[in-house]
Amino acid sequence: MKTFSLIIVCAMLASCAPSSPSNSGVYMLIDTSGTYREEMLKAEQIIRYSLSRLDAADSFAVARIDTGSFSEKDIVAKITFDDRPSTVNRQKRVFVDQINAFVEDTRSSPYTDITGGLLQAVEFLNEKGPAAKTVLIFSDLKEDLEEGYIRDIDIDLSGFDVIALNVTKLRSDNVDPREYLARLEQWQTKVEKSGGHWQVINDLDGLEGLL
Amino acid sequence: MSFLLSITPSPVLSALLWIVLIVTVLFFARPTAHALILATGRSLYKIFRTASLAVAKAQTSLAERNREVLLAAGREAKERIVEREFHRINETVRKDLANYSALHRNLSESIKRIEDDHQEAVDVPPDPPGWVKAVEAVAAIDLKDSRVGVGSVLSDIHKSLVKAHKEAMVAYHEASRVRHTLLRKMRPEWREIQQTLDNVGKNVGSLLSRSSTIDRHMQEYEDIVKGEDRAVSVLSSSSLVYFFVSALVLVVAVGGAMINFSLIARPMAEMVGGTSLLGGFKTADIAALVIILVEISMGLFLMESLRITRLFPVIGALPDKTRVRMIWITFTMLFLLASVEAGLAFMREVLLHDELATSALLRGDNATAITNNYMWITTAAQMGMGFILPFALTFVAIPLETFVHSLRTIVGLIAMGMLQVTSILLRLLGSGFRYLSVLVAQLYDLPLFIPLWWAARDSSETSRESNQLHKVVS
């Protein structure tokens, strides 16, 4: 009888133990430099899709890539969804409004600091501590740093999925496609060396696998 | 292996040597080996046979126990039926025959009234007027011999007679009218008496039919008490039928509970959160399940309090006052839970609309475009289901009781079947080992056929010689 009581108590304690998190965190970097400003509507489409995939207790942030992206000021909108479904819906609607405002008002930046944005993303997601961490980079992946900015830093990307979206070909890429391929390879190497998982999605009609 | 074949330069010779050696060893060890093989076979046979007997004994005792359980359950069921029949008879007697004295008085009064009316309605012939004889005498006087004034006297008498006749006829008509009135008054009395007697006849007939039903049940009850095989067989087949029917109803009830669950699980996330987990399951799902289980429990208690089921003897044995209180308490709780469910069902619909609107917004559709004027029908239907299903689940108690009771019999029958199969298998295994030992002994002799043939030949020669010696000696 004592053994039985002990088993029951153990089972109850085990059932009350906090379970491991199953939420996900997504940080989206949007390139606002140069001609990429024209692609904002596509970025909005991806944000809406991401919002539809996220649920209660998930975290989502959207940040711009500009001259110096390693800054909280570059975060356009961020949210950690509530437990209650009705609140989640309300939060999503507010988020969409913020993104709409951003898309309408954003200005083109002269430089492109992707690494700084990635650093900011890692910091944000590590702070939130979700089970799955995803960084979406909406950019042509051509980094253009202002003089004096140091971005040759090791980033720990263990447990991160880094997904490059809509990596457009530049005019120079058309002249010499090796530049485009080299750019992709460089980022893949950089991410995988840091322990992350790299993926490229250029066809925005096939976002089903995303998140 | 190569080592075995290399004891001589020639492998064939080595093999032959080994064969001879092994056959020799086997031949000399033959009696012991045979004894060992046969003894092993016999031992295994006895072990399995003993085990089979033990299992068969267990099966017999289980069958006996099942029989007792079945008879006890049947006895209890019959007692309930007979008790109910007596209760009905009691109700009939109390309701219809308790006022027998009033009925008797009514009948007596009706009969008395009829008698009085009848007495009053007797047709009394009118008395003949006393002056008729005088009239006759006067009428006999001859006109010629008549004196002066006789004619006028006769005329007056005639007038008086006519007048008296008219009065008598009026009186007679009046009396007839009164008699007819009295007779008309008697008619409803007769009808009332007839109706009363019909009712009495119906009640007596109902009592008679109930008494014959009780007789039949009592006969079955006696069979059960005596433990007759026929009664056991009937009870057993009834249990099987009850088991399958109640299982079917329970499956339907489980379907209802699942629909109920889907109605309240989603909105429950609004109350307890949509992401928290408890033992690997969503807390919202567990909360919804708990609500449904509490409803089923309340339904069980309600049915017990109403004495429809008898799963908890403690509730059935409660004083009537406490039991009635319990009925009201459980019903109130059920009502509150049903109201909560209806509210949650409404909340579910609201959440669904909210989610659809958000999805449409995220897709870039016009959210306001998807409005349907008839959506209130589904909302009302969901609320209705949320309110009704808890009460419908209350009736789960009835098939559950039947299922639990018949399950004992079914489990007993299955266990008996398994024990019987085990017993047969053990017996077969025992016999198998016994014959296997004989077969192994024969197989042992197979490689020894040459020395055995030699030994048999030698022994036959020896016996022939000894026979001859015996003959010579004799």
Indicate if the pLDDT at residue B470 is higher than 80: no
Per residue in B223-259, pLDDT tens? Answer: 888 878 888 888 888 888 989 999 999 999 999 999 9
Domains of chain A are 21-209 (3.40.50.410)
Eight-class DSSP state of B93: I
pLDDT for B73 beyond 90: no
pLDDT at A1: 47
Domain ranges across chain B? 7-81+428-473, 99-226, 230-395
Q: Do A85 and B270 make contact, defined as CB atoms within 8 angstroms?
A: yes
The pLDDT tens digits of the residues spanning B98-146 come to 777 777 787 888 788 788 777 776 666 555 555 666 666 666 665 555 5
- The single-letter DSSP state of residue B96 is I
Query: Looking at per-residue confidence, does B336 or B310 come out higher?
Result: B336
Which band of pLDDT confidence, cut at 50, 70 and 90, is reported for residue B44? very high
What local confidence, expressed as pLDDT, does residue B131 receive? 60
E strands, chain A, where?
A: 24-31, 59-65, 75-80, 132-138, 160-165, 197-201
* Region B90-97 average pLDDT: 76
What pLDDT does residue A92 have?
A: 92
φ, ψ of residue B317 in degrees (nearest 5): -90, 0
pLDDT of B40 reads 93
Nearest CA-CA partner of B387 in B335, B333, B342: B342
Mean pLDDT throughout B42-60?
Answer: 93
Q: What is chain A's pLDDT, residue by residue, as a tens digit (211 residues)?
A: 454 454 555 555 555 555 566 788 999 999 887 767 677 888 888 899 899 888 888 999 999 888 777 788 888 899 999 988 889 989 999 999 999 888 888 777 888 888 888 999 999 999 988 889 999 998 888 887 777 777 788 888 888 999 998 888 777 777 888 888 888 898 899 899 989 999 888 887 777 777 7
A86: nearest CB among B270, B277, B363: B270
Tokens matching residue B161: 């007679």
Q: Is B451 left (phi over 0), alpha (psi -120 to 50) or beta?
A: alpha
- State the pLDDT at residue B58: 93
Residue B138 near residue B157, CB atoms below 8 Å: yes
Q: With 80 as the cut, is the pLDDT of residue B167 above it?
A: yes
**Residue B149 — very low, low, confident or very high, per pLDDT cuts 50/70/90?**
low
Q: With b meaning 16 or more CB within 10 Å and e meaning fewer, what string describes B95-132?
A: ebeeeeeebeeeeeebeeebeebeeebeeeeeeeeeee
Beta strand extents in B108-202 (DSSP E only): none
Give the ipTM.
0.75
Shortest distance between the Cα of A66 and any Cα of chain B, in A, equals: 26
User: What is the C-alpha separation between B402 and A176, in angstroms, rounded?
Assistant: 83
Rounded to an integer, what distance in angstroms lies between the CA atom of residue A95 and that of residue A99? 6
Looking at chain B, the whole-number percentage of residues with pLDDT higher than 70 is 91
Taking an 8 Å cut-off on Cβ atoms, the answer to whether A93 and B275 are in contact is no
> How far is the C-alpha of A58 from the C-alpha of B275, rounded, in Å?
10
Alpha helices in B3-149 (DSSP H): 11-28, 30-92, 100-120, 132-140
Give the integer Cα–Cα distance in Å for B299 and B92: 31
Between the CA of residue A108 and those of A68, A169, A173, B314, B322, what are the distances in Å?
13, 18, 21, 80, 80
pLDDT at B59 over 80: yes
* Contact at CB, B358 and A15, closer than 8 angstroms: no
φ, ψ (nearest 5 deg) of residue B396: -60, -25
Specify whether the CB–CB gap between A120 and A69 falls below 8 A. Answer: yes
The pair of structure tokens assigned to A93 is 């609607």
- Rounded to the nearest angstrom, the minimum Cα separation between B366 and chain A is 13
Whether B219 shows a pLDDT value over 90: the answer reads: no
Check: CB of residue A199 under 8 Å from CB of residue A163: yes
Contacts of B364 in chain A (CB under 8 A): 48
**b (16+ CB within 10 A) / e for B457-466:** eeeeeeeeee
pLDDT tens, B338-395? Answer: 999 999 999 888 888 888 888 888 887 765 555 667 778 888 998 999 999 999 999 9
Q: Distance between CA B227 and CA B314 in Å, rounded?
A: 29
Least confident range of A190-204, B52-66, B148-162, B276-290: B148-162
* Structural contact between residues A71 and A120, judged by C-beta atoms closer than 8 angstroms: yes
325-384 of B, contacting A, C-beta below 8 A: 350-351, 354-355, 357-359, 361-364
The upper half-sphere exposure of residue B367, i.e. CA atoms within 13 Å in the direction of its Cβ, equals 12
